[in-house]
Chain A
């Protein structure tokens, strides 16, 4: 046993040491209180939002796209509801028995089965709905509804699909919608200050974005804004209940200037031939007809076409996907002649009474090469009026020969060549307006006088799209000015006109007279069109030479190959003397501007003017 003295010493030492440890714990305790205080009081808001973020999950709600109308209020593109069978996977214990049971009512094909099998577990884990089958028939719906009590975890609901009412008619003008890449989607969502998260789809094929045409250019308007549903979730990400719902804003409806009837006529008239028709309302610059032929069904594309069908379409030698109206480059050929004539008047190279002796060919003084007209033996002594009506090459060769190339190029540019004439066309091409610089840079050759002479008859390097030709046609009709073209009526488009024009009103009338003569005059190149209409139309036809031949006999050999046949081309406007509509038509390998492209132009104008 220890002594009393030591016992007191021990007692003291014990107390000191115990208090020391308690003191140590006291420090720990203070530190802990401090930590809790700083978490709960100082950083309260930070942790509150973290806790809120933890327990809520936002889901985007897809908006419906706007409806697209023609100028008379006909619906062109719509959202068509279809009925879909949707299940709640998290409530279904055995997928196999569910499928075999529901399969007796609603048959699932292999693709649908695979889709369900692949996605079932994931959707079940997160309490998400799963669409088993879309586009149910009314029979399937009826069969399901009478037995619906047997399937508490399945229901039928409406999902939309984007459908064109006239799938072949506006394939290039309106275009189509399709799925969207992740990057694009992030961009779209960030415009609305949203992040890419799970989405409740309005459409059975999910996110949609305009891929081509009006659907693309007016995507912002048509798209609408996403809504948002906020759910409470647990740590496993399961939805527990809906907390908040901000409905989506439906996309704006689009009233286009397109004319359904005229477009129908254009498609019918083109009859699957390769080419394009563009018609515009002169006063407003509204595009009323915009057709590239052959066409394809946009609904097939948007509805998820099989790879085989898609490949067949994209490998088709007629290139149905190619937008000939806005992107096809064609030489304007003889349709350029009114412009060349006007240039001659502007530059005082000629006047309306000026005549030349037309032998049927033109020999370029520089190299003695002869350039032939289409009529053997020539047209005799002719004026500008005759030259336009009969489409004399020699007249315009001579005129172009006298022209200053830089001024001529500038003049062409004022008529819209080499420029985009349209405010809202999808990927419209500018064609090619050549110049000496362009030729040097691209072909490494200087500009020859012969190039200018070729320009005089619209052959050579100059190319334009049917869209540009329609603008040019309207520009002529409007006597030297024209608003930019557009698919919607807007006041924002300014009309651009000729600079320092020396062309008098009577000169314009004479040019119009000549173009009327192209149809009305017995010698006119498009005289066959006269009987197709009940009012006066001004026109200029053209024939685009693809292979240069010197004689008609040579051409007979060339045309054996259909791809080498000349393109038929025409510009027209009417009714005269107060033209309302201007039109351009190109038919590839159609050979005759007047008699092949002409009737298409006339029928479209008929449809537009008979309203």
Chain B
């Protein structure tokens, strides 16, 4: 259900379902973070500013017509790439990874921006191409995706890199990539897996994958995160231990409780019931996006809504699967819940654009 509110002179573009759901998630996120940060007021204050700013940003991003995004998608992409290069040169190094750009007000993780601008650019590049997408366009698209992926993976930030890779792939797939091409490249991918394992992955990344299959081999070393996260989730039970009662989080057993592993805190303190409530909100947002994509006004809008919502879904599932020990540990926040400005803002940005795509109608349709 799209809504267009008519005020005296100008229109406001707004989707109440997404807006309410996202606001609800953001507020719940603040509550969870309060517990995960052991009641640290500074963290909450900072996060609240991001949430408030993010909601405004989301609203503002909904206002321009999709044509604006279509026209300037190249500019956005180039701007994002410049940020990435700037990070490579001026970036702040933390724990051996150079992912952050100090902007004075806050530190920006530049890869978070390109995971929005790349799918928009690809949508705008592919929306008027014939079906199925021919090899030339496929290769141009793939080269751009591959190039961006390598840039991010080198930081190194495999998690975000994978999301960018997936974002590009979603657009290409949704735009009508030929099944033959998909089949062929999947075969090649399978064949090159051993090569990727040996030459592409860093030793610590390989270790994480091995740990997944056998976390008990070294529960106090590489298996610590998964072991403690599973204990936190499992000990939550159906009803949870209660707000701020989670011993795993509060006694520091759970690593990265405020960021990547915040879901474990939710599971520990609010139990299976809390998990189900949280997941149903996420689920609702995704279904709403599906609905909006179906009803979008043109191919560009469809592709963009589809692509961005799948970026959101991928981030969500990578995080959840990691926390539950289904996939290896990768740095991936839980959207709207985890602490951290860049990722938070990027999703407000993405949903602002989604709402814009969904609410603006072609003149002739009005």
Contact = CB atoms under 8 A, between A and B. Distances in A.
Q: DSSP majority for the B interface?
A: helix
Interface stretch (B3-11, B57-65, B192-200, B229-237): B229-237
A233 B320 CA distance: 28
Interface stretch (A24-32, A171-179, A205-213, A504-512): A24-32
A4 to B, nearest CB: 12
Given A39-B234, A44-B234, A46-B234, A233 B324 contact: no
Nearest to A13: B176
A6 B299 CA distance: 11
Contacts of A232: 247, 251
Interface size class of B (residues with CB under 8 A): 35 or more
B77 to A, nearest CB: 22
Contact of B326 (A7, A22, A31): A31
B261 interface: no
Interface string A210-246: 0000000000000000000000111110001000000
Interface stretch (B19-27, B271-279, B329-337): B271-279
Contacts of A443: none
B234 A33 contact: no
Contact of A28 (B130, B303, B321): B321
Interface string A1-42: 110001101110111011101100100110111011101110
Nearest to A10: B131
B236 A15 contact: no
Interface stretch (B92-100, B104-112, B286-294): B286-294
B306 A18 contact: yes
Contacts of A46: 234
A22 B283 CA distance: 11
B170 interface: yes
Contact of A50 (B131, B234, B276): B234
Contacts of A1: 128
Contacts of B290: 18-19, 22
Contact of B235 (A2, A33, A36, A47): A47
B313 interface: yes
Interface size class of A (residues with CB under 8 A): 35 or more
A54 B238 contact: no
B302 A32 contact: no
A13 B173 CA distance: 10
Interface string B158-185: 0000000000001001111000000000
B51 interface: no
A55 interface: yes
B317 interface: yes
B305 to A, nearest CB: 9
B317 A44 contact: no
A17 B174 contact: yes
A36 B231 contact: no
A231 to B, nearest CB: 11
A13 B129 CA distance: 14
A114 interface: no
A499 interface: no
B40 interface: no
B67 interface: no
Contacts of B117: none
B253 interface: yes
A44 B235 contact: yes
A48 interface: yes
Contacts of B317: 25, 28-29, 32
Interface in B231-256: 231-238, 247-248, 251-253
Contacts of B272: 36-37, 40-41
Contact of B286 (A22, A37, A44, A48): A22
A51 interface: yes
Contact of A10 (B233, B253, B283, B299): B299
Nearest to A37: B272
B118 interface: no
A40 B128 contact: no
Contacts of A11: 299, 302
A43 interface: yes
B308 interface: no
**Most chain A beta-carbon contacts within 10 A, residue among B170, B231, B313:** B231
Contacts of B326: 31-32, 35
Interface string B321-363: 1001110000000000000000000000000000000000000
B91 to A, nearest CB: 30
A43 B310 CA distance: 32
A33 B317 CA distance: 11
A11 B175 CA distance: 9
B267 interface: yes
B177 to A, nearest CB: 9
B237 A51 contact: no
Contacts of B276: 33
B182 to A, nearest CB: 10
A234 B228 CA distance: 13
A41 B238 contact: yes
Nearest to B318: A28
Contacts of A240: 251
A25 B320 CA distance: 12
Contacts of A32: 317, 320-321, 324, 326
B247 A2 contact: no
A581 B311 CA distance: 99
Given A14-B174, A47-B230, A54-B251, A40 B294 contact: no
A50 B248 CA distance: 10
A2 B128 contact: yes
A234 B325 CA distance: 23
B231 A50 contact: yes
Contact of B247 (A13, A14, A41, A55): A55
Contacts of B279: 29, 33
A2 B300 CA distance: 13
A29 B283 contact: yes
Contacts of A25: 286, 313, 317
Given A10-B176, A13-B131, A50-B234, A233 B286 contact: no
B294 A15 contact: yes
A70 B267 CA distance: 64
Given A14-B303, A22-B290, A234-B252, A36 B267 contact: yes
Given A32-B317, A51-B232, A55-B247, A235 B237 contact: no
Interface of B: 128, 130-131, 170, 173-176, 228, 230-238, 247-248, 251-253, 267, 271-272, 275-276, 279, 283, 286, 290, 293-294, 299, 302-303, 306, 310, 313, 317, 320-321, 324-326
Given A14-B302, A19-B290, 14 more contacts: A10-B176, A14-B174, A17-B173, A17-B176, A18-B174, A21-B173, A21-B310, A25-B313, A33-B279, A47-B231, A47-B235, A48-B235, A51-B235, A235-B253
Report the 10 A-B pairs with minimum CB-CB distance, sorted nearest first: A47-B234, A51-B235, A235-B252, A234-B251, A39-B234, A55-B247, A235-B253, A40-B272, A47-B235, A48-B235
24 contacts: A10-B131, A13-B176, A14-B302, A18-B293, A32-B320, A36-B324, A37-B272, A39-B230, A39-B233, A40-B238, A40-B275, A41-B237, A41-B238, A43-B234, A44-B234, A48-B234, A50-B235, A51-B247, A54-B253, A55-B248, A55-B251, A235-B251, A235-B252, A236-B252
